[in-house]
């Protein structure tokens, strides 16, 4: 998770908010205080000026209205006005003038102005001519200080007889205000600094638990639920911390449950013999277990993201992934020229909480062996039917010829027809017996009575019997060790195997041919080889000669009375004895059948 910088943190926001609140409060209070203070100072100053002017006005009015005769010697109006002006000007007025109705200055706090005539001042003119007072605040032209300018008419009833013009500096009021504002600004800065310090402390108190919960959330995101956040109080943040720890416990339990289920599912998927493929809502592969990898020949990395329709090669059967569920199951042929390989796929859809299609689960299994068994079963039924039909058809033909009467009366044909019928009957009996024996071996019903025997005399006895009963011009060569070799076998069954192989060798050997019988003692086993000089078997057919009803030369096999089950029975017997049987051959040079038997110092099969 990205680290939060200080400028983006909630701590800075809390500090800024507290500082702004305090600054706003100070500004509101300061503005109100400054305004009220300014009004108060101005009003006090104004009242002081007003009081002085009022007294000055009364004295000057008395002076202007005093009756004076031209002959009487005494104080003149100008002298009296000057005396009054000097007495009341003091320090409060920066400029004070008393003007008569002729706009002549009678008295002033500036000596050089006495006697001059002022006619250009509008406020003085209004006061002297019309008796209108006027006041104003302006800047002094020389000092640039702010002054309160008052022009007051001196009235004789309704007639103005003169005017008082005064300028009183109020710069001290604004100087005091500026000093107070400066003090207030310093206090504001100090208050803001204190508020920032308090804000840091408060923000730390608030954000410390939140920071701890954030760090714990990052730890929880990595799957570690072992730690808990500290609870610093019972307020909202403390309750949040308690709730967070409770959520941590619940997530830990949920994670454990999920992990257990995941391990169970992973174990089930890994140990399933069937392959499992999961897709998303678009039919693209997201999950696949090892058996599925082995069956389709693609790793999860190769198949991930690929459409399952293409991976299973069913584009010709379905258009989109949703049609697979409608199919239910499909048998897919992955066979090549050399090997049969069939897969059966069962499809089921996955739906979300709202019932919408969210994926597909496909279970695939190898049904090659099952298909082979089904094919062998069908071929077996077909072969049995064919093998029985041929002798039965022959018997019916000959019996019909006999029952018609003509052949039965013929002393030469009748015995021949009966002989053929007898041969076909014996052939069917041999076929049925072989089928019964195979059936018993398939169902483990055939008794195998193993015993410890010296196999060398048994082999000689079998060969002697064949040499005594042979009618063809065939020679036997035997290469058998002159020693005692003990094996743990069922003597009758091994004799049957050897008889089957020797009988086939005799059937397929030409006149004057030679059959070679060889027994070789190898490590932990005895290998027996029987070779003929027949036509041989093609290489691609060697593995098939041990299948039931398989004949290399079908016409000759039936002519010689074979059922096609001898080598199949021999293979079953050798397998029961924990041995091996195989054939080697070259076309035109004969065939060799080999089988092995374990010696006594090898693990023996149990007696059945």
pLDDT digits (tens, 9 = 90+) for 486-520: 999 988 889 888 988 988 888 888 877 889 999 99
Whether 94 is covered by a domain: the verdict is yes
Answer yes or no: are the C-beta atoms of 597 and 526 closer than 8 Å: yes
Average pLDDT over residues 17-40: 81
199 assigned to some structural domain: no
State yes or no: pLDDT of 421 exceeds 60. yes
Distance CA 174, CA 145 (A): 10
495 and 579, same domain (yes or no): yes
Average pLDDT (318-339) is 74
Q: Which two tokens stand for residue 269?
A: 């998927």
Quote the domain boundaries for residue 295: 272-366
468 in the same domain as 399: no
- The better pLDDT of the pair 201, 390 is held by 201
Confidence category of residue 606, pLDDT binned at 50, 70, 90: very low
Distance of CA 182 to the CA centre of its chain: 64
**Domain-embedded: residue 201:** no
Residues 162, 21 share a domain: yes
| Residues facing residue 100 across a β-bridge | 162
Decide if pLDDT at 117 tops 90. no
Mean pLDDT of 142-150: 79
Shared-domain flag, residues 536 and 437: no
Same domain flag for 16 and 160: yes
Query: DSSP states of 425-472 as a string?
Result: HHHHHHHHHHHHHHHHHHTT-S----EEEEHHHHHHHHHHHHHHH--S
**Domain count within the chain:** 4
Whether the pLDDT of residue 529 is over 90: the answer is yes
Question: DSSP 3-state assignment of 170?
Answer: coil
Using a cut of 0.85, tell me whether the model's pTM lies above it. Answer: no
Which whole number is the average pLDDT over 6-26? 74
Region 227-231: what's the mean pLDDT?
81
Give the pLDDT confidence score for residue 121 in this predicted structure: 77
Residues 492 and 532 in one domain: yes
What CATH number does the domain containing 408 carry? 1.10.287.130
The residue-averaged pLDDT of 294-323 equals 80
Of 108, 142, 175, which marks where a domain is finished? Answer: 175
Q: Which residues of 373-412 are buried (b: 16+ CB within 10 A; e: fewer)?
A: eeeeeeebeebbeebeeebeeebeebeebbeeeebeeeee
Residue 356 pLDDT > 50:
yes
Looking at per-residue pLDDT, the higher value among 120 and 582 belongs to 582
> Based on the domain organization, do 482 and 567 belong to the same domain?
yes
Confidence grade of residue 136 (pLDDT, cut at 50, 70, 90): confident
407 falls in which pLDDT band (50, 70, 90)? low
How high is the pLDDT of residue 528? 93
Tell whether 244 is covered by a domain: no
Mean per-residue pLDDT, 263-276:
78
Say if residue 595's pLDDT is above 90. yes
Q: Is residue 432 part of a domain?
A: yes
In the prediction, which pLDDT does 119 show? 67
Flag whether pLDDT at 70 surpasses 60: no
Half-sphere exposure of residue 454: CA atoms within 13 angstroms, side-chain side = 9
Mean pLDDT of the chain: 79
The answer on 405 and 470 residing in a single domain is no
Helix axes 413-442, 368-403, angle to 10 degrees: 160
Please report how the helices 413-442 and 566-576 are oriented relative to each other, as an axis angle in degrees rounded to 10: 30
Q: Is residue 83 part of a domain?
A: yes
Residues 388 and 505 in one domain: no
Q: What is the pLDDT of residue 386?
A: 62
- Taking alpha carbons only, the member of 207, 190, 206, 196 closest to residue 20 is 196
Domain CATH for 508? 3.30.565.10
Same domain, yes or no: 400 and 497? no
> Of the candidates 421, 441, 461, which is a domain's last residue?
441
pLDDT of amino acid 604:
44
Least confident of 77-91, 100-114, 214-228, 454-468: 77-91
Q: Mean per-residue pLDDT for 441-463?
A: 81
Least confident of 138-147, 148-157, 455-464: 138-147
- How far is residue 264's CA from residue 101's CA, in Å, rounded to a whole number? 119
Look at 262 and 476; give whichever has higher pLDDT.
Answer: 476
Residue 462 above 50 pLDDT?
A: yes
Q: Please state whether 298 falls in left (phi above 0), alpha (psi between -120 and 50) or beta.
A: beta
Using alpha carbons, list the distances in angstroms from residue 521 to 37, 412, 452, 528: 130, 55, 17, 9
Q: Which residue has the higher pLDDT, 471 or 102?
A: 102
User: What pLDDT is attached to residue 25?
Assistant: 83
| Alpha-helix residue ranges (DSSP H) falling in 297-412 | 300-303, 308-311, 322-327, 368-403, 406-409
* CATH code for the domain of 277: 3.30.450.20
Average pLDDT rounded to a whole number, residues 133-158:
82
308 in a structural domain: yes
- Same domain for 472 and 566? yes
CB of 161 closer than 8 Å to CB of 154 = yes
Q: Residue 217's Cα: distance from chain center in Å?
A: 19
Interval 45-61 mean pLDDT: 81
Tell me whether residue 526 is in a domain: yes
Boundary-marking domain end, from 340, 366, 392: 366
Q: Is 276 in the same domain as 345? A: yes
């Amino acid at each position: 998770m990205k680290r939060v910088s200080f400028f983006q943190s909630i701590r800075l926001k809390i500090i800024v908010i507290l500082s702004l609140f305090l600054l706003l409060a100070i500004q509101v209070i300061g503005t109100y205080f400054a305004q009220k203070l300014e009004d108060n100072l101005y009003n006090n100053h104004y009242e002081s000026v007003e009081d002085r002017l009022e007294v000055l006005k009364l004295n000057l009015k008395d002076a202007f209205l005093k009756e004076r005769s031209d002959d009487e010697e005494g104080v003149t109006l100008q002298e009296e006005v000057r005396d009054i002006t000097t007495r009341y000007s003091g320090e409060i007025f920066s400029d004070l003038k008393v003007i008569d109705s002729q706009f002549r200055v009678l008295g002033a706090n500036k000596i050089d102005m006495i006697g001059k005539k002022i006619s250009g001042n509008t406020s003085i003119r209004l006061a002297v001519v019309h008796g209108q007072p006027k006041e104003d605040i302006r800047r002094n032209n020389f000092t640039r200080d702010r002054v309160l300018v008052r022009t007051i008419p001196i009235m004789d009833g309704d007639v103005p007889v003169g005017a008082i013009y005064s300028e009183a500096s109020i710069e001290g009021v604004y100087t005091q205000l500026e000093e107070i504002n400066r003090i207030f600004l310093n206090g504001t800065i100090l208050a803001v600094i204190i508020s920032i310090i308090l804000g840091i402390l408060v923000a730390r108190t608030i954000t410390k638990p939140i920071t701890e919960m954030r760090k714990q959330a990052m730890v929880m995101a990595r799957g570690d639920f072992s730690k808990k956040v500290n609870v610093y109080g019972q307020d909202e943040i403390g309750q949040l911390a308690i709730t967070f720890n409770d959520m941590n416990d619940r997530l830990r339990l949920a994670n454990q449950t999920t992990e257990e289920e995941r391990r169970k599912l992973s174990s089930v998927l890994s140990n399933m013999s069937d392959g499992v493929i999961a897709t998303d809502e678009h039919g693209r592969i997201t999950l696949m277990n090892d058996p599925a990898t082995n069956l389709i020949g693609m790793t999860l990395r190769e198949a991930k993201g690929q459409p399952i329709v293409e991976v299973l090669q069913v584009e010709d059967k379905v258009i989109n992934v949703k049609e697979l569920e409608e199919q239910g199951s499909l048998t897919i042929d992955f066979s090549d020229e050399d090997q049969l390989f069939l897969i059966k796929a069962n499809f089921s859809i996955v739906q979300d909480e709202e019932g919408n299609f969210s994926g597909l689960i496909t279970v695939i299994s190898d049904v090659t062996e099952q298909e082979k068994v089904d094919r062998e079963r069908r071929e077996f039924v077909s072969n049995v039917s064919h093998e029985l039909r041929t002798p039965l058809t022959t018997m019916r033909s000959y019996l019909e010829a006999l029952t018609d009467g003509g052949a039965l009366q013929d002393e030469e044909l009748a015995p021949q027809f009966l002989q053929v019928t007898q041969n076909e009957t014996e052939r069917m009996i041999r076929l049925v017996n072989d089928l019964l024996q195979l059936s018993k071996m398939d169902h483990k019903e055939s008794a195998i009575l193993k015993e410890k025997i010296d196999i060398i005399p048994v082999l000689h006895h079998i060969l002697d019997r064949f040499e005594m009963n042979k009618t063809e011009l065939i020679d036997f060569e035997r290469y058998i060790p002159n020693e005692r070799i003990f094996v743990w076998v069922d003597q009758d069954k091994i004799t049957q195997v050897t008889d089957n192989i020797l009988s086939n060798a005799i059937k397929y050997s030409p006149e004057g041919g030679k059959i070679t019988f060889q027994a070789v003692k190898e490590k932990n086993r005895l290998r027996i080889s029987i070779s003929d000089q027949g036509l041989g078997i093609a290489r691609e057919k060697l593995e098939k000669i041990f299948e039931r009803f398989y004949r290399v030369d079908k016409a000759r096999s039936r002519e010689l009375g074979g059922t096609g089950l001898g080598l199949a029975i021999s293979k079953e017997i050798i397998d029961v004895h924990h041995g091996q049987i195989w054939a080697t051959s070259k076309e035109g040079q004969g065939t060799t059948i080999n089988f092995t038997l374990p010696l006594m110092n090898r693990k023996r099969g149990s007696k059945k």
